[in-house]
Every structure is written in C-alpha cells, then in structure tokens.
Amino acid sequence: MTELQLRIHIEGKPESTVRVAQDEFIIGRLPECDLCLPFSEISRQHSRIYHNPQGHWQIEDLGSTNGTILNQQELNQAHPLTSRDVIQVGNVFLGVHILESRRSQPPKPPEPNSPGQTILRNAEELQRQWIKVEDSDEGDTQTTHQRAISRLKYLVEIAKDLNSAESLEAIFEQVQAVVFRELTNIQRLALLVDVEGNGHLKLMDAAARNELPDATSTYSNSWIGRSICEKVFREKVAIKSVDAQQDKRFEGEQSILVKGIRGALAVPLWDTNKVVGVLYADANLTLKGSDASNDEDLSFFSTLANLVAYSVQRWLLTQKLQGEAKIRQQLERYHSPSVVQQLMAVGALENGRIKPIEADMSIIFADLVGFSEMSERMTPSGISELLNRFFEEMLQSVFAVGGTLDKFIGDCIMAFFGAPEPQMDHADRAVRAAMGMLDRLDRLNANKVWPEPLQLRIAINSGRAVVGDVGSEQRVDYTVLGGTVNVAARMEGICPPSECVISEATYRRLRHREGFILTGEHRFKGIDRPIKVFQSQRRDSSDRHVS
C-alpha cells in the first residue's frame, strides 16, 4: 500500500504538509472533513481522494460549486493521481507526493546526485560551447566546421534583428519569437532588467506560448522564480532545472507548486563588463535531462541572452541620455547654464530631483509697478507677449551672475543666489543682478520696446533658507522656503519705483556697499521684529528714461 502526502499552499500562510494514510480522504469546508479548508470558495464536501481496488490513488469532485482542478484541468470524473500533480480547490493548491509503503516495498537505494537534474554553468563557457560545436557532436570535422559557421550566421541574423529594435518591447518580441521557435518545451518567457543599476531586477516584459492563467500579465511576477533569477544575476551563472518540483533551490517559490512547473531556465544578460538582467523561462513539461557538460538548450539560451544584453544596454543608455536631457531641460528653466553643467557633472540629483538643503542665500523679488492698471488697457495676447519679453530680458541679468529662478508670481520675478551650489558672494551677486535688471529696463524703455514705459521695484534679503525640489509625485517645484523669503517679499512693497532696497542682513554681507543708504527701521506684517532697510541711489538716472 502506498502513502500519499499533500503539500498545502494558501496565499499569505506558510506551507504545510498533510499525510493521507486511510483509504478515503475528504477535502471540504466542514470541520469533520479530513482536510478542513474553511473558505467560502470551497464547498462543504468539495473533493474526495481514495484508494481504488487496484491499489492506486484517485481523486474525484463531490459536486462542488467551483469544481476541482487537477493540473489546470477541471475534473469531470475520477482521475488517477501521480506524484507532482497539483490539485486546486478554491484558492488553495495541493501538491501531490506519493510514497511507497516500506512494508510492501523494499527501500530504494539512494539515488546518486544527477548532474542533469540541475545544471549550473558559467555563462561565458556556455556561449563558447554553442558557437564552437565540439567535433564529437557530428563525428566529421568538415560537417562540424560547417555547423559552427551556420550557427554564427544565425547569431548574426538574430543580432541584426535585435539591433533594429528601438524599444524594449521590440527587443522582447524578437527574443520571444526566437525562443518559442527554437525551444519547443518552453511555455513562458520573462525579461528582467536592472533598470536603475542598483542590483534590483524589474520585470520588463513577459509572454506565454499558450493562454495560461496569469502568464501573459506583464507585471505579475508570481510565476517567476525570483531566488533563481537573483542567483543568476549575482553569480553570472546559467541555471537549468530539469525537474523544478524536486529542486531544493525552488523551495518556497509559490509558482513552482501552484503552476505545476517542471523545468526552468535562467541565464544572465551580460557583456564583458557587467550583468544587466536575466532571461527566465519555464516549462510545464519536464525539460529533457542532459549532460551538464554539453547542454544544447541551455547553451543556446545563454548565447541568445548575451546578444540581448547588448540591445538592453543600448536601450538603458538611451533612457539615461533621454533622462539627462529632460533633467537638463528642466534645470535650465531655473538655473544659469554654468550651474546646470555643474549640477549634472557632480551628480547632485537623486532620482531626477534636487534634494532640499539648508543654505545661506540671498532672495530677490522684482515686481512691475502699476502692471494691473496697465493690463486693463491691453488685450490678453498683448499681456502675454509683454510678460514673455520682460521675463526673458530680466532673467538675462539674473543668470549672468549665476542666479536661480524660483518662480514667476504674476508679473513678479522671484530668484535667489547661494544655491544649489554655494556662492560666498551671493549678496553681491543679488545686488549686481538687481542693478542689471534696472539698467536693462531703462535701456528698453528708452528704445520704446513696450507700449508704455515699465518700472520695477526690487527687494533683496539674505539669510538661512531651505531650497530644493518640493512637491508630490505629480508635480514638483524647485523653490526656496523660510522666513528669509517672507521678509524679502514684504520689503518689495516699500521700495520706490525704479529702485532696489536691501535688508541689513544683505547689507552686512556686501563686499561693496557703495550706493546704498539707510532709510530706517520698518515693521512688516507677520514679521515680529523691525527690519533695517537700505535703499539704492539711482532715481536720478532712471528718471531720465521714464516719463
């Protein structure tokens, strides 16, 4: 008499094993069942496992609501059980293992370790093996030579197709076609790539030869042997398991038990420098056992992966360049070209963002005078054209001295100096930018660039503030925050037209203080202390250009 074991897998719970020693074994929801599975998807008495008169184990459905599934096929009648079968009742999976009774059968001698059950090979050796073709393969040197040439030509054709693929999806389509054509036992294929370069594999694409449950769900990774892929990735080895059900390396892998996987292949995507990913495949039928020293399907699969690696590397490089171009374009909206170049060179970005930091800096607010009244006399398109030209002209003075644009607030420009790269002379830079904006506006007014002459009020304050990318996943702004910003914003309201005012904090940081006089202490809304304000002396020169 034989004894049957059921290995029970319930999602979210550790695996367990139950022995079936009696002639009849009932599975169901009722407590009196031999295996009680208290779930709504399982009927009160769902399935029956029993010993038939011939001494074989069989299973039958007991008229359950959701049916009994054996090896992905619904049971319509009693069916014999064999080791490695997979039974599904509701959402519970039961792996079958039949043991010969020691009383009726003599113990079997221990099986020697078979090198064909699980093969681990160096990926580079496998590639050379498949291309070289040993003489013993054909027994004829000339035929062997011709076969090697044929294989090389085949690889060249595959490489051409891969090189023409412009996207990762197109690369995978080419690989899928080759694998399903050449390796007929393979049922599913997956491409995993270390996209971020941090050693973490990400499932990029997947395909199934036939319509199997969950097999074609691209980003569902439940059927992939993750521990196998990680070993392949870390150690740059190719792995073939002829029978994954009996391979200890697959223990704990849900997909092996649930999907009845028999064989698996996993090979690294590698070039001479690094491993960039893994090509993984499985088979519902046992892969042909083979000698580890000469395994055709594994060596071909590994050689193909080597070609795929170059295409994936090219795709990763393209993504990186496109990402850098996008980041550069975004940074150039806020920073001068020299600052952008420095940020890109030193790698100051984390996931495309500038990490918020606290720094000593100077903040500048430059606001148009009387623009609300002027806009009432203009068309919307006229307002847009005027502001676009105004902002473009004024930012030239900011960027010329290494300043950073924070934002446009209506007709106001907010900029700062001293970050993201430290600038010891940030106060002097802010003042030079302010004077440059005022002088440039005077020249534009003299040339009658605008429908009406424009005037600016500019305020500068210096101190500690936090600056960096702030926002949500959907929207991020590079901005500066803190009390130093609030003071600068309040000071702009007391500045005379065509002048610049600075705080005492800015004045003390200036290396060249000429051209500013103290106007007194001022109190501002929301600021709990008086602020000493200094004003530039340039009204006479500006009045010559503004009527």
5 touches 17 (CB < 8 A):
yes
Output the pLDDT for position 114.
43
Task: Return left, alpha or beta for 333; rule: phi > 0 is left, psi -120 to 50 is alpha, else beta.
Answer: alpha
Confidence of residue 94 (pLDDT cuts 50, 70, 90): confident
With CA atoms as reference, report the closest residue to 210 among 188, 191, 190, 177.
188
pLDDT at residue 256 tops 90: no
- Residue 13: which residues within 8 A CB-CB, separation 6 or more? none
437: tokens are 């904006």
Q: What is the mean pLDDT of residues 47-60?
A: 89
Does the pTM of the predicted model rise above 0.85?
Answer: no
pLDDT tens for residues 159-179? 676 777 778 888 888 888 888
Bridging pattern class, strands 188-193 and 86-89: unpaired
For range 16-26, the mean pLDDT: 86
CA distance 318 to 163: 13
Each residue's pLDDT tens digit, 103-113: 444 444 433 33
DSSP string, 473-487: SS-EEEEEESHHHHH
Give Cα separations from 347 to 176, 251, 471 (angstroms).
Answer: 37, 42, 21
123-137, 291-305, 504-518: range with highest mean pLDDT: 504-518
**322: which 2 tokens?**
């496109």
Give the orientation angle of helix 141-164 with respect to helix 123-132, to 10 degrees. Answer: 120
Number of Cβ atoms within 10 Å of the Cβ of 428: 19
| Nearest to 506, CA basis, from 490, 487, 493 | 487
